[in-house]
Amino acid sequence: MSILHKEGTPTLSYTLIAGALLGFLTHTFAPVLFYPTMALVLVFFAFFLNFFRNPKRHTVINPKHIIAPADGKVVVIEETVESEYFKDKRLQVSIFMSPMNVHVNRNPVSGITRLMKYHPGKYLVAWHPKSSTENERTTMVIEMQNGTRLLMRQIAGALARRIVWYPKEGDKLTQGEDMGFIKFGSRVDLFLPIGTKLNVQLDQMVRGGETVVAEWE
């Protein structure tokens, strides 16, 4: 079952208002365009309804699991240097969300928010190697009960123009709960300790709040 995410209410309202205005104008001044215009408005409205859906997910809370923070395809699995916070080598797992995916972002683990920072930036395509450090993005560091910290990064893509996040530094987070939303094609990165056991592979499709991406042994 899906419900409409609260971030979609303004967009859908503006679409209805614009559609009503276009309908009035075409019906008054260009009647021959009325039905094609209304059909186009309905297509856009249906797209936004699909995009802003927020399906209920069943998260099995487990302190040994890192669950997928978003729906989409795993596009990066590699060891890399995380230069913003850890400043050392980490295991990066990146999930790309197409415009057809659910764009709700969820907490991958339970814990305390130790860093929540927004970075304005470019709008390179989400799979570009430099998008993780140059695009509009947020950085969130979560400390789990065992003291381990992981970093999650929301990254805007070529179509995305707004990132929404809810946690503040010091907030207590519950695994699987909503942490934010990215409007239109985008990506989420996870930076995990080296040696973390991965349960996913490249090009695998994952479900936010349900798929176990990795686990502590």
Q: Catalytic amino acids?
A: 186
For the chain, the maximum distance between any two Cα atoms, rounded to a whole number of angstroms, is 68
* Cβ-based neighbour number of residue 76 at 10 Å: 17
- Could you tell me the end-to-end alpha-carbon distance of the chain, in angstroms, rounded to an integer? 34
Determine which helix (DSSP H) or strand (DSSP E) holds 153, and give its type and residue range: strand 149-156
Q: Among positive and negative, which fits the CA dihedral 4, 10, 11, 16?
A: positive
Print burial letters for 148-170: b (CB count within 10 Å at least 16), e (below 16): ebbbbbbbbbbebeebbbebeee
